[in-house]
Amino acid sequence: MGSGYHVAIAGATGAVGTEFLRVLENHRFPIASLRLLASERSEGKRLRFGGEEITVQRLREDAFEGVQIAFFSAGASRSRQFAPTAVKAGALVIDNSSAFRMDPQVPLVVPEINLEDARAHKGIIANPNCSTIIMLMAVAPLHRLSRVRRIVVSTYQSASGAGAQAMQELIDQTAAVLEGKSVTPRVLPHQIAFNLFSHNSAINEWGYNEEEWKMIHESRKILHEPELAITATCVRVPVLRAHSESINIEFAERRPTVDEAREALRAFPGVRLVDDRECNHFPMPIEASEREEVLVGRIREDISNPKALDLFVSGDQLLKGAALNAVQIVEGMIARGWL
């Protein structure tokens, strides 16, 4: 470590916390010091970063003294408890939980789409839900071509979205089923091996689960389109890492041509076009895993609606859906002299 910023990661030992370490190192983020924070049960663990071993400290209210940038991925309750303390200590908090996303005083940012919103922060910037980020990376460039009126999205969400223990459960259950053994779910509510089920979050009075509700309301905030019509169906699938989504996009007026859509997506930062009809090669989670770009393809006219396009996306939930997006927010602010 050398010249740069004094950085903390809250939730450093979790799946996203581990990705924060990888992203910061791979991007050569300017770090003067790095403080790794986690729950009491992880206190004392040692994690490697930049050729050094750093001891994990307990997440406490006095843990942010001297910290300039604090990346939070420790859950909504801990964010509500500790993020204001970090701000009081002088840190800019980039929070990966749902705690502050819909707070009108907190910017909700995907840097390729609405980085300018970050300038209005009051100490906290929220990282959107992973499914929202992955969807909007495909929707935003098309929205710039012609205003989007309605989105219908179905998600195919990997075990990584439920954390490291859920990923291990998928591995363990798969091995058990292949050996002819019965399985008992412990992390997820249902068997995940060779199965899929509605996203494991609470259902509200309208029949939507929390994940679907987040996609609806976060997308409106990020795109500055409070009346945007969105409906979502979120499903957990037996994929280890990277979420996929089937998206139907209806435009208010003119539908872009398929070629126009391809060009807009090809030119959009953070998107990789994977749209080979001849070889039937389109976005797949196995190819999106551990990649920074969101893969977009299956671009076609909706033959049932003259104003709609269909497409399919895959993106790494732990990277662009979480840690990478958070780091890119800060990188964008540094590049513009806002930090």
Catalytic residue annotation: 130, 243
State the DSSP code for 257.
P
With contact defined as beta carbons under 8 Å apart, do 60 and 81 qualify?
A: no
With contact defined as beta carbons under 8 Å apart, do 138 and 294 qualify?
A: yes
End-to-end CA distance of the chain: 20
DSSP string, 21-54: HHHHHHTT--EEEEEEEE-GGGTT-EEEETTEEE
Of 325, 339, 337, nearest in space to 114 by CA: 325
Do the bridges between strand 52-55 and strand 46-49 make them parallel or antiparallel, or are there none, so unpaired?
antiparallel
Distance set, CA 299 to CA 37, 52, 276, 296 (Å): 43, 45, 10, 8
How far apart CA 163 and CA 155 sit, in angstroms, is: 17
Of 272, 295, 217, 254, nearest in space to 142 by CA: 254
With contact defined as beta carbons under 8 Å apart, do 221 and 104 qualify?
A: no
The two tokens of residue 186 are: 């412990």
Of 63, 101, 111, 104, nearest in space to 80 by CA: 101
